[in-house]
Copies of this chain bind each other. A is one copy, B any other.
Amino acid sequence: MQALAVGYNKGMRTLLTARLANNTESVVLIADNLKDLSTHLGNYGRSVLWVFDTNTAKLFKQLPPAHVVIESGESSKNFASLERIVATALEEGLARDGRIIGFGGGVVCDLAGFAASVYMRGCKLTLVPTTLLAMVDASLGGKTAIDYRGMKNMVGSFYPASEILISIDVLRTLSEREYLNGLGEVLKHALLSSDEALYRFLVTQKNEILSRDAQSLATIVELSLRVKQHYIEQDPTESLGIRQMLNLGHTFGHALESTFHFGLFSHGAAVAWGTCRALEAGVSLGITDRSWADGAIKLFRSYGYDIDYRIGRGDWISFRDHLFKDKKRVDGKLLFVLLEAQGTGVLKVLDTALVQHLVIAKPTF
C-alpha cells in the first residue's frame, strides 16, 4: 500500500457521518473495491496496529508490520484475544494517539473496538468490516464486546470508530450462509425504517440482491446504515429506550443461538427467526397489524430463512435460561421489541407462557 499525501482517495465517497456518544463522530466511507480502500488506509502513517482474523489476513500478500491475527470465529471473542491485542500494541509502542484498525467481520470489529476502547483508556479506531453483517451492524454504533462463559457480548463498551471503511467487492466472496447472516439484519432494518424504501427495494430487487449485483449491494448497505444511524444518533448508549428498537428479534434470536451453542443458526438467521416470533407476539397481543406482519414474514421466507423452525420441547429449559440471562432485562423483567407497524416499535414485557407457545414445536399427534 502506498501512502497518499492528503485527503481521501477519489475511489471512496462519504456515505454518512453519524454523531454519537460523547460528541464523537463516525464517518462511513464506501469504495467499490479493496484497492481504493487500501490506498486510503495508507494515509494513516505508522502508529497503527492492525487486527485481522485468519480469513482476512489472507487478503494481503504481505501483512503490515504491526498486526495481530486472531483465529476466525466467535470463539475468539474472549479475554485472551483482548490481551493479545493489548500486549502487541504495547510491544509495538502504540501510544494513546495511535490507532487500532480492525479488518474483518463482526468478531474482529467487536474485539478490535473493545481493545481500542480500553488500551490506555482509549486510542483511535478504524473499522474495515468485511462481511455484510459487520457492514450493516457491528461496525456502526460503537458497541464493542467480547463473550464470556458462553454469553454473547457480556463484557464490552460503547466506543464509536472514527472511521468505517466499506469495500463492496468483498461481499461477493462471502459464502451463502455468511451473506444471509448479514441480510437478516438488513431485513430487520427494513421493518424498523420510518420509510418503506429499503423494504420495497428488498421486495422488488430480490434477484439482484441474491445474485449480489454490485449496485444493489451498495444500496442495501447504504439504506440499512441510514436506518441504524437514525436510531443510534438519538440514543447512543441505549439508555433512552430508542436504540433498543434495533434489538428487534434479538432477545428471541440470542436465546436460539445460545441454546444451540451458536452452531445451528447464524446470527442473522436467528434474528430473522426472532423477528418473526416478535411479529407473531405482536399480532397475538393486538399490537401488530396482522396483514403487515404477514407481509413481513413472507419477505423473510422469500429470502430463504427457516422462520418456521420451532425448538424441541426438550430444549425449552435451556432456551428459557438463556432468555433470562439476557442483558436487556430491566428490574428482572425481559423486554421484547414489538412493532405496531413499519418503523414503529414498542418495548413490551412478554409473558413466559406466550414466549413458550411461540417458540416450541406443536405436538404432532
A-B contact pairs, 5 of them (CB 8 A): A90-B149, A97-B329, A120-B327, A121-B237, A122-B158
Q: Which residues of chain B are near A118, meaning CB under 8 Å?
A: 114, 118, 155-157
- Majority secondary structure, A binding face: mixed
A333 CB, nearest partner CB in chain B, Å? 10
Q: Does A331 contact B (CB under 8 A)?
A: yes
Determine if A121 and B90 form an interchain contact, defined as CB atoms under 8 angstroms apart.
Answer: no
A80 CB, nearest partner CB in chain B, Å? 9
Determine if A151 and B90 form an interchain contact, defined as CB atoms under 8 angstroms apart.
Answer: yes
Copies of this protein in the assembly total 2
A228 to B148, CA, bound (A): 36
Q: Contact residue range for chain A?
A: 35 or more
If A95-B332, A117-B157 are given as contacts, then 16 extra A-B residue pairs at C-beta distance below 8 Å, sorted by A number, are A22-B22, A22-B237, A90-B149, A90-B151, A95-B329, A97-B330, A118-B118, A118-B157, A120-B155, A120-B156, A121-B145, A121-B153, A121-B156, A121-B157, A121-B158, A122-B237
A358 to B325, CA, bound (A): 56
A331 to B94, CA, bound (A): 10
Q: Does A285 contact B (CB under 8 A)?
A: no
Give A118's nearest chain B residue, CB to CB.
B155
